[in-house]
Amino acid sequence: MIKLLFVSSCSACFEWDNDLSYYCDNFVVTLNGVAVKEGNTNVFSLFGLSPDTDYVLGVSGYDFTLPFKTESETVCVSAYSFGAKGDGVTEDTAFLQTAINCLPKGGRLQLKKGVYLTAPLTLKSDITLELCEGAVILGVTDEARYPIIPGEVKDEYLDNYLQCGSWEGIPQSMHQALIFGAHAENVNIVGEGVIDGNAQNSSWWINVKARKIGRPRLVFLNDCKNITFHGITGQNAASWQFHPYFSEDISFYGITVNAPKVSPNTDGLDPESCDKVNIIGCHFSVGDDCIAIKSGKSYIAKKYKRPANNHVIRNCLMENGHGAITLGSEMSAGVKNLTVNRCLFVQTDRGLRIKTRRGRGKYAVIDGVVFENIKMENVLTPIVINMYYYCCDPDRYSEYVWSREKLPVDDGTPYLGSFCFKNMVCDNCHVAAAYIDGLPEQPIKEVTVENLTFNFAENPKSGVPSMATGVKKCCKKGMYLNNVKTLTVKNIVFSGVSGEEIIAENIGKINRG
């Protein structure tokens, strides 16, 4: 009934095994027979546990127990022992970084209740950073305190480059993230505390398009392995909140990610060219895409061939973003084997959003994508697959990008493979049920839609369903599909559609259940 997702020396995360989307019935958790927590979400956590200790988890009213044991550790020390004040006024950067540097392998740095004002901090391998309830890591507002990291640096002796910084899919100089990790392994950042970029009180969100240097992320991980974030809240980053880059085995369990809806480019979580990323039981409310899976632009793809691979997103709540889950548009190395299950999307512009375009290249392959057991409420357009995306590039409005003619397949042509959408209920839709738009020279290989329900709002908003040149505003449009080789349709229910329920153009083969 319940499985253990993650355990550290001081915390544990669990998941109900059911078919519900994010929420479940109310329950009371017991630990060693004592009631310790109430909950109503499929993923829940316990904090403040003792290291190297046996526990038995139970749920009141259920004949069920789950024994587990916390991890051992070498030492646990308080940031206060290194001189940190935690008063929100005195800068604690040197004290916190010294404490991190002093930790032995398997050590834990504990940030107790307090506001720790700091410039960027650098992680190191084999440690745990615990943010207790009431602890806040608060970024300083002075831009000069965030060092500039070059995009890539040439090896002095070999014909090679070290990748250091990134901005929207290319190696580009960027300010150091508030929490920065490079080539680090085996790190846990856990607890009920907050990492706050403090951008709302700074100048980071002003005149963003005029900036020549990339704004800092809240958390940036470059070439890291086995990093876990559990329970913490991340908020108010200058740009993206969490950005794992060229990393593997990165997990996010039960975290919360916040940014004002009007804040610029404040994506929640953008794993880029990463392998094996778990995003489970997380809650997002941000100013751009909640989750955006990426793999760089053409230069990165050709040089390193690092696709986004084997990602799992489950039991998450996405609110207020442009897209709940987005693939691209910087995905020139491809996205493969993505599973999204049991999620809830509320008031996002788009639900499941895939964006690519001519020029992303022959390695820009998206394949093996499954979305299942999804609920959406008040989402403008639930499903969007767009192969004419017109943002983020100098040639965004060029004929090469927007042309509806069948152009030659060349080294710039992306490929979309298999997509499966099953068991979804979308209530109070507005613009369109789905807008799936492939290229004439490279149609989408296969789209399966099964057991989907689209109910439109009584007073819907009109809008553009897909960010592509020539796409017109609409309202209460059904499911539109264009340039798909094989379409499988089974048990699709519409309520309140204006016009045809399914508009299928240039479809090679249609299978109807």
pLDDT of residue 393: 82
The distance of Cα 106 from the centroid of its chain, to the nearest Å, equals 28
Instruction: Tell me the torsion sign for CA atoms 299, 300, 305, 308.
Output: negative
Domain 73-288: give its CATH superfamily. Single-stranded right-handed beta-helix, Pectin lyase-like (2.160.20.10)
- Active-site pick, 175, 243, 311, 322: 322
Q: Is 298 left (phi over 0), alpha (psi -120 to 50) or beta?
A: alpha
Q: Yes or no: say if 70 and 52 are a contact pair by the CB < 8 Å rule.
A: yes
509: number of Cβ within 10 Å: 10
Show me where the domains of the chain are located. 2-69, 73-288, 300-513
Q: What is the pTM of this model?
A: 0.97
Q: Mean pLDDT by 10-residue block, N- to C-terminus, for the chain (513 residues)?
A: 97 97 97 97 98 97 95 98 98 98 98 98 98 98 98 94 93 97 98 98 96 97 98 98 98 98 95 98 96 95 94 97 94 97 97 95 96 97 97 87 96 96 98 98 98 97 96 97 98 97 97 87
- Active-site pick, 92, 196, 270, 288: 288
pLDDT of residue 447: 98
pLDDT of residue 394: 84
CATH class entry, domain 2-69: mainly beta
Helices (H), 367-434: 399-402
d(CA 137, CA 17): 34
Reply yes or no on whether 322 is catalytic: yes
- Which of 255, 338, 324 is closest to 292 using CA atoms? 324
Q: Yes or no: say if 358 and 439 are a contact pair by the CB < 8 Å rule.
A: yes
Q: How many CA atoms lie within 13 A of 318 on its CB side?
A: 36
d(CA 483, CA 358): 15
Reply yes or no on whether 196 is catalytic: no
pLDDT of residue 392: 78
The distance of Cα 485 from the centroid of its chain, to the nearest Å, equals 30
